[in-house]
Structure 1
Amino acid sequence: MTGLHSRIGRWLILTAAASAAATSAPAAKPTIVLVHGAFADALGWQKLIPILLRDGYEVTAVEIPLQSLEGDVATTKRVLEAQAGPIVLVGHSYGGAVITGAAAGSPKVKALVYLAAFAPDGGEAVGAFGDKYPADLSKAPKPDSAGFLYIDRSQLHQDFAADVPADDAAIMAATQKPLNASVFTASVPEAAWKTIPSWFVVSKRDHAINPDLERFYAKRMHARTTEVDASHVAFISHPAEIAKVIEEAAAAAAK
Structure 2
Amino acid sequence: MMSMKLAIAATVTALAVGVSFVTTPTHAAEGTKMKTVVLVHGGFVDGSGWEGVYEILRKDGYPVTVVQNPTISLDDDVAVTKRAIAAAPSDVILVGHSYGGVVVSEAGTDPKVAGVVYIAAFAPDAGESVSGLIANPPPGAPVPPILPPVDGFLLLDKSKFKDAFAADVRPDLATFMADSQVPWGIAALEGKVSKPAWKVKPSWYLVATDDKMIPPPAQRTMAERAGAKTVEVPGSHAVYVSNPTAVAKLIEQAATGH
- The TM-score normalised by the length of structure 1 is 0.85
Distance 1:129 1:144, change over 3 A: closer
Quote the Cα distance in structure 1 between the aligned partners of 2:148 and 2:187.
11
- Contact 1:110–1:196 (Cα < 8 Å) also in 2: yes
- For the 8 Å contact 1:203–1:227, the answer to whether it is kept is yes
Conservation of the 8 A alpha-carbon contact between 2:39 and 2:65? yes
Shift of 1:125: 2.2
1:48 Cα deviation (Å)? 1.1
RMSD of equivalent CA atoms = 1.5
* Counterparts of residues 134-145 of structure 1 (less than 5 Å): 135-138=141-144, 140-145=145-150
Q: Deviations over 1:7-53 (max 9, x none)?
A: xxxxxxxxxxxxxxxxxx75711000000000111111111111001
Contact 2:130 2:191 in 1 (8 A): yes
Q: CA deviation at 1:107?
A: 1.2
Matched residue, 1:20: none
Indicate conservation of the 8 Å contact 2:102/2:129, yes or no: no
CA–CA separation in structure 1 for the residues paired with 2:99 and 2:181: 14
What is the distance in 2 between the residues matched to 1:141 and 1:202? 22
Aligned to 1:70: 75
User: Of the candidates 97, 105, 111, which is equivalent to residue 107 of structure 1?
Assistant: 111
SS in 2 for 1:214: helix
Q: CA deviation at 1:222?
A: 0.6
What's 2:64 paired with?
59
2:221 alignment partner in structure 1 = 216
Alignment of 1:27-66 (within 5 A): 28-66=33-71
Of 188, 193, 196, the match for 1:191: 196
Q: TM-score by structure 2 length?
A: 0.84
Counterpart of 2:126 (choices 103, 117, 122) is: 122
Of residues 160, 164, 167, the one that matches 1:159 is 164
**Residues 100 and 119 in structure 1, CA contact (< 8 A), matched pair in contact too:** yes
Equivalences for residues 166-205 of structure 1 within 5 A: 166-205=171-210
Aligned amino acid, residue 120 of structure 2: A
State the shift of 1:186 in Å.
2.0
Which is worse superposed, 123-132 or 176-185?
A: 123-132
**CA–CA separation in structure 1 for the residues paired with 2:159 and 2:64:** 33
Report the residue type matching 2:113 in the other structure.
V
> Structure 1 stretches (4+) deviating beyond 6 angstroms?
none
* 1:218–1:225 Cα contact (<8 Å) kept: yes
Alpha-carbon distance change, 70 to 133 in structure 1, aligned in 2, over 3 angstroms: farther
Partners of 2:92 and 2:113 within 8 A in 1: yes
Q: 1:68 to 1:133 in 2, by over 3 A?
A: farther
CA-to-aligned-CA distance 1:81-101 (integer Å, 9 cap, x gap):
111311000000000000000
Unaligned runs of 5+ in 1: 1-24
- For the 8 Å contact 1:133–1:213, the answer to whether it is kept is no
Q: Distance in 2 between matches of 1:133 and 1:56?
A: 42
In 2, the alpha carbon distance for the partners of 1:141 and 1:223 equals 29
Specify the code of the residue in structure 2 equivalent to 1:136. Answer: P
Aligned residues of 2:37 and 2:92 also touching (Cα < 8 A): yes
1:75, distance to aligned residue in structure 2 (A): 1.0
Report the count of equivalent residues.
227
